[in-house]
Homo-oligomer: A and B are copies of this chain.
Amino acid sequence: MPARSRSTEPLYRIKADLFKCLAHPARIQVLEVLAADGTDVSVARLLHVTGCMSSQLSQHLAVLRRAGLVTSSRSGNAVSYRLTEPLVAELLNVARAFLLAGLARDEGQIEAVRELPPLPGANPASLLDATRRART
């Protein structure tokens, strides 16, 4: 494959690549810290927050950098990172909202089951367990 130039590549591919960059817990942690702080964050701090090895973190940071999600700047011997674009924080917010909405929906279902009239020969607890298993 001759590596189609980025501008002619269909948007859904570029989007998929973007999400691929977000598809790792350590990278999410990094972005969340950057989004929360709003300012530059040192690699040392990210290292402490994520708890992973420096080489590992560097590789994740490289992924985020290549995607244009973050920007690095070096002052003396220390390097620090920041979000290139506030929309990244928004992306994380919407993702969280979606997950919370899902939880709320599930809670609602559980409530609905609780309010069912009791059936002969089946107790509510086992019914709940059944739905929980079914959701997996």
> Which chain A residues have a beta carbon within 8 Å of chain B's beta carbons?
10-16, 18-20, 22-25, 27-29, 32, 66, 68, 84-85, 87-88, 90-92, 94-99, 101-102, 105, 136
Other-chain residue from B19, B68, B97 in contact with A19 (beta carbon distance below 8 A)? B19
Q: How far is the CA of A29 from the CA of B102 in the complex (A)?
A: 22
Q: Which residue from chain B places its CB closest to the CB of A24 in the assembled complex?
A: B16
Q: Which residue from chain B places its CB closest to the CB of A101 in the assembled complex?
A: B85
Given known A19-B23, A20-B23, A23-B20, contact A14–B94 (CB-CB < 8 A): no
Q: Which residue from chain B places its CB closest to the CB of A88 in the assembled complex?
A: B98
Secondary structure at the A interface, as helix, strand, loop or mixed, is helix
B residues in contact with A12, CB < 8 Å: 25, 28-29, 32
Other-chain residue from B85, B90, B97 in contact with A87 (beta carbon distance below 8 A)? B97
B residues in contact with A136, CB < 8 Å: 66
B residues in contact with A23, CB < 8 Å: 16, 19-20, 22-23
